[in-house]
Amino acid sequence: MMVYDQQNGGRFLLPTNETARFSFLKQNFLAYYREYAESLHAPSLMKEREFGFLTFREKMMIRHKTFRDMASFQKALLSLTPSDVYYSTAYYERPEADMARKGWLGADIVFDVDADHLDTSCKEKHDTWTCLKCQETGHGSKPFRCPKCGHEKLEEKAWMCDRCLFAAKEEMLKLRDFMVEDFGVIPKDIHLFFSGHRGYHMHLMTDRLRRLDDGQRKEIVDYVLGLGLDAMEQGLYQGPPDVYSTDKHTMIIGPQLTDPGWRGRLAKGVLQIITTFDKKQLLDLGFSKGAVTQILDDREKSEREWLKQIPWNYYQDRWRVTEQTWKNAIEKSIDAVRLRTHIDTVVTTDIHRLIRMPGTLNGKTGLKATMLSLDELESFDPFDEPVVFEGSQRVRVESAPEIRIRDKRFGPFDKETIEMPLAAAILLMAKGIAWPVK
């Protein structure tokens, strides 16, 4: 890694904090790209994609750019030194033209799983919001309107930590399984990326899917979210009486673990309920006290035997577990196995979307948007491999929660001047809550 320190980097302070902050960030981004621009990978069908660049101070998007090769792209990158770099998920006949004349040829399918959309308890510790009218502040996700004055324009400062990024990773792992097991996408056509901030992107790059329109992409989104699922349409029903039973009530039939698609997923969810739910949770689903006692007593045996086959009728024989109770369990299991409303559906259905370019720096953190293999996702550490800046820097920090860079933690901070690793300093400055100190 390069060492960008005070002496070798040639950094200097400008008259105001904000000017100094933007100048510091831009010079360090430029130093990084001068060293590593040639290592960036060209996206597939590069000449058919539109590129966009977001400037540092003005936050102005420069778009409708096209490049014939990486050499011309690298020249533009070093000339502009943007805070963020994007390219289109779509392919066009004329990427440089306005939208009406581009000539759409198709688009990758992209999923954006972001911690912003996850209801994690850590938000109460590190996320804050401010009312732009009365300046009321609060912690956690911002409300729809200010609880004090009712104003709807609220500014949110979202952070990221190990807990919320782990939750985002868990959702991406679910999505990976959906694509491979349910949609039959070949693993080599699935490309995963850490965004460099609060989430992960999945790109499906295959000719079979590129021509899908926005409506068809919405169907894929609805499937992985489990929208409109009905237990009665997933193999749960009352069958004829068991010929071997002396009690001639109708049998309850349900999906099995080996069933394809949502049937198998729901069966796995019910198995999870039987083997993990506590007494109160089982009673809330409608199981009788006797059935709950048996479920808890037989838990170890059930987990072993149910992996072979789920005996939907087993508890009915002794405790009259009804079809409705199993229906409740299946509906509950949907929440356990589906991707909850945690993917940005607009990103997936938008066939003209600009998405962050892998290998470039995220202007909100200074971390690298990092490419991952399917096997690397589970063990990936978003506060280690994406770190590109080395050295140290003295900064003035206003207020910030604890942060981690590799195996070291810093903060929380409250109006203090401190020397820290350059990567941590750039992260805080990119967040707009720290300034360089000479």
DSSP for residue 368: B
How would you classify the pairing of strands 199-204 and 109-114?
antiparallel
Higher pLDDT, 11 or 137: 137
> Hey, which residues does 155 pair with through a beta bridge?
130
Instruction: Please report the pLDDT score of residue 248 as a whole number.
Output: 54
Higher pLDDT, 71 or 323: 71
CA distances from 342 to 156, 174, 345 (A): 18, 11, 9
Instruction: Please report the pLDDT score of residue 215 as a whole number.
Output: 94
Element (H, E) at 55: none
Three-state SS for 279-308 is HHHHHHCCCCHHHHHHHHHCHHHHHHHHCC
User: What's the mean pLDDT in 312-332?
Assistant: 83
Residue 2 has pLDDT above 60, yes or no: no
* 72 three-class SS: helix
Q: For residue range 351-378, what is the model confidence (pLDDT) as tens digits?
A: 999 999 999 999 999 999 999 999 999 9
User: What's the mean pLDDT in 53-68?
Assistant: 95
Assigned token pair, 146: 């200010």
Cβ-in-10-Å burial (0-12, 13-18, 19+) of 171 comes to buried
Task: Give the distance, in angstroms, between the CA of residue 30 and the centroid of all CA atoms in the same chain.
Answer: 28
Q: Which of 28-37, 62-71, 240-249, 314-323 has the lowest mean pLDDT?
A: 240-249
Q: Residues 238, 251: contact at Cβ < 8 Å? A: yes
Cβ-in-10-Å burial (0-12, 13-18, 19+) of 383 comes to buried
Contacts of 351 (CB under 8 A, 6+ apart): 89, 90, 104, 107, 213, 214, 217
Q: Up-side HSE of residue 345: CA atoms within 13 Å toward CB? A: 16
Q: For residue range 281-290, what is the model confidence (pLDDT) as tens digits?
A: 999 999 999 9
Q: For residue range 71-83, what is the model confidence (pLDDT) as tens digits?
A: 999 999 999 999 9
CA distances from 300 to 278, 282, 303 (A): 14, 16, 5
CA distances from 187 to 3, 114, 144, 191 (A): 37, 22, 40, 8
Q: Of the candidates 384, 385, 164, 417, which has an alpha carbon nearest to the alpha carbon of residue 425?
A: 417
Q: How confident is the model at residue 434 (pLDDT cuts 50, 70, 90)?
A: very high
User: What's the mean pLDDT in 205-215?
Assistant: 93
Instruction: Please report the pLDDT score of residue 149 as a whole number.
Output: 95
Q: For residue range 218-261, what is the model confidence (pLDDT) as tens digits?
A: 999 999 988 888 877 887 887 776 555 555 566 788 889 999 99
Q: How confident is the model at residue 436 (pLDDT cuts 50, 70, 90)?
A: very high
* Residue 368 neighbours by CB distance under 10 Å: 21
Measure the CA–CA gap between 421 and 389, rounded to whole angstroms: 8
Q: For residue range 20-33, what is the model confidence (pLDDT) as tens digits?
A: 999 999 999 999 99
Residue 342 has pLDDT above 80, yes or no: no
Measure the CA–CA gap between 229 and 227, rounded to whole angstroms: 6
Q: For residue range 369-403, what is the model confidence (pLDDT) as tens digits?
A: 999 999 999 999 999 999 999 999 999 999 899 99
Task: Give the distance, in angstroms, between the CA of residue 105 and the centroid of all CA atoms in the same chain.
Answer: 27
Instruction: Please report the pLDDT score of residue 38 as a whole number.
Output: 92
Q: What percent of the chain has pLDDT over 70?
A: 93
Instruction: Please report the pLDDT score of residue 41 as a whole number.
Output: 92
Instruction: Please report the pLDDT score of residue 228 as a whole number.
Output: 83
Q: For residue range 157-202, what is the model confidence (pLDDT) as tens digits?
A: 889 999 999 999 999 999 999 999 999 999 999 999 999 999 999 9
Residue 305 has pLDDT above 60, yes or no: yes
Residue 15 has pLDDT above 70, yes or no: no
Contacts of 35-44 with C-beta under 8 Å, sequence gap 24+, read 35/2, 36/359, 36/388, 37/74, 37/77, 37/78, 38/70, 38/74, 39/359, 40/70, 40/73, 40/74, 40/357, 40/359, 40/360, 41/358, 41/359, 41/371, 42/69, 42/70, 42/73, 43/87, 43/357, 44/205
Instruction: Please report the pLDDT score of residue 13 as a whole number.
Output: 39
Measure the CA–CA gap between 89 and 354, rounded to whole angstroms: 6
> Hey, which residues does 201 pair with through a beta bridge?
112, 193
DSSP for residue 318: H
Q: Is 409 left (phi over 0), alpha (psi -120 to 50) or beta?
A: beta
User: What's the mean pLDDT in 301-307?
Assistant: 83
- Record the pTM: 0.86
Residue 341 has pLDDT above 70, yes or no: no
